[in-house]
Each structure stands twice: as C-alpha cells, then as structure tokens.
C-alpha cells in the first residue's frame, strides 16, 4: 500500500482513453475541509499517510508537485489516496513552476534555479497548516494572483513577500514545530530532506502513536509505478 490511487485496467477506444481504478470509498479532502473542522488525531493520520505517499513517489523517481486537498481522497477513518499525476515529473529536478499556487515552494516560485523533490515536503507543510487552521496561509492572495500571473516578476515578488510563512501560536506545539521544519525556506533543511530522510520525519514527536508498520510497504520497495495514475 503506497496511499496512491492505482489503475487496475487501462484501454483505449477510438475516442477515449479509459482508466479503471481501484474502488476507494472516500471524498475529496477539499470537500471535507469545507464541511467543518477536522479533529487533530484525524489530521495527524492524514498527514502521516500523505507523507508516506510522497516518500514512496520520490523513491520511484518522481516529484509529485500536486499535493493539495483537491488531489486527496479521504475516507471516514482518515485513510487517504493521492491521485492525479498531471503535475508530476520523472525528472530529478525541474525549473518549471507548476502545481497549485498556494502550495508552491519558494524555490519553485522564484524560478532562479532548479528545484527537486523537496517541494513536495513544503506542500505537505502547507497542507498541514490548512488542516490545522482550516485555510491555506496564502489562499486569499493566490486567488487574486492566479497561476498564470506567477510568470510576472512583480507578482512573484509580492508572493515571496509572504515568506517565511507565519505560523499560528495557539496550536499544538509539536504540530507547530513540524510545520516550521517542513516550511523551511532552505529546501535542504526541510525535515524529510535532510541526511536522515524520511526516518527523521517518521520519528518526529507529532507522529507519536502513528502505527507506521500498518502502512505495510516501506517506501522504495514497491513496483507499482507502471500501474499508478
């Protein structure tokens, strides 16, 4: 299990490409967020599974670049599936800013140099912020700007003025500490991207109580790449 919606059958007709995916009885996380508050223990489960999925995708040689509530299905127990790989790349690095603007890492927005899989951990931090506070820290501004405007240096500069992300003080200290480490301006210093990699992230106090062994397949030991949407 890599927490990614998998394609069971694919075929092509004269007019259509058809993907038949596994059945997952869940709703879009964006819809769940719109309905009300997500309890902290459920948010922790969602974040842990998204983190596991990100690491699995990275170990298959991809950058996802699509971490956002509208790309996550969640069921009644807080289990998730990532889906929609339209922004993903199988390159180790890229220069092109793509994905959902509120979740883009600063190095992607700046466009001055290449970026790597660290951008997915930044997006995980933004997702965690949203699950905790119920809105993205840049959501209002990004709705005004729009993705196409990121190509304008003036808009990019305005967006970067919001960095670093200001974290609310009235939340669980462990959650705040993890968000701070995920939302580090320096990609190489983000938790999950440092020398100890995913193991350091797993062992963060925020995840105390998460039964990682129940996720079954360790990141990097799956061969499901060719079946993944």
Model confidence over 104-129: pLDDT tens digits?
898 988 877 899 999 999 999 999 99
Identify the CATH class of 26-215: mainly alpha
Instruction: Specify the pLDDT at position 146.
Output: 57
Instruction: Specify the pLDDT at position 114.
Output: 92
Instruction: Specify the pLDDT at position 175.
Output: 96
Instruction: Specify the pLDDT at position 109.
Output: 81
**188 in Cβ contact with 194 (< 8 Å):** yes
Instruction: Specify the pLDDT at position 221.
Output: 38
Instruction: Specify the pLDDT at position 145.
Output: 58
Which residues have C-beta within 8 Å of that of residue 137, sequence separation ≥ 6? 102, 126, 129, 162, 165, 166
Write down the pTM of the prediction: 0.84
d(CA 85, CA 180): 27
**What phi and psi values does residue 32 have, to the nearest 5 degrees?**
-65, -40
Count CB neighbours of 59 within 10 A: 18
- Give the residue ranges of the chain where pLDDT is below 70: 1, 138-159, 162, 216-229
Instruction: Specify the pLDDT at position 21.
Output: 84
């Amino acid at each position: 299990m890599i927490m990614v919606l998998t394609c069971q059958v694919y075929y092509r007709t004269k007019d259509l490409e058809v993907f038949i995916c596994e059945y997952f009885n869940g709703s879009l996380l964006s819809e769940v967020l719109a309905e009300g508050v997500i309890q902290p223990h459920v948010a922790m489960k969602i974040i842990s599974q998204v983190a596991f999925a990100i690491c699995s995708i990275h170990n298959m040689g991809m950058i996802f670049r699509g971490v956002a509530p509208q790309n996550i299905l969640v069921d009644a127990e807080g289990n998730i599936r990532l889906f929609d790989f339209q922004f993903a790349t199988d390159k180790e690095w890229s220069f092109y800013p793509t994905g959902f603007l509120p979740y883009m890492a600063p190095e992607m927005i700046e466009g001055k140099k290449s970026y790597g899989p660290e951008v997915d951990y930044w997006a995980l931090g933004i997702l965690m912020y949203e699950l905790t506070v119920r809105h993205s820290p840049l959501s209002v501004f990004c709705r005004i700007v729009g993705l196409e405007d990121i190509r304008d240096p003036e808009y990019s500069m305005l967006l970067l003025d919001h960095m670093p992300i200001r974290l609310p003080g009235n939340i669980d200290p462990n959650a705040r500490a993890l968000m701070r480490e995920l939302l580090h301006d320096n990609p190489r210093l983000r938790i999950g991207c440092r020398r100890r990699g995913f193991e350091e992230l797993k062992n963060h106090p925020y995840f105390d109580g998460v039964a990682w062994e129940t996720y079954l397949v360790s990141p990097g030991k799956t061969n499901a790449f060719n079946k993944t949407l």
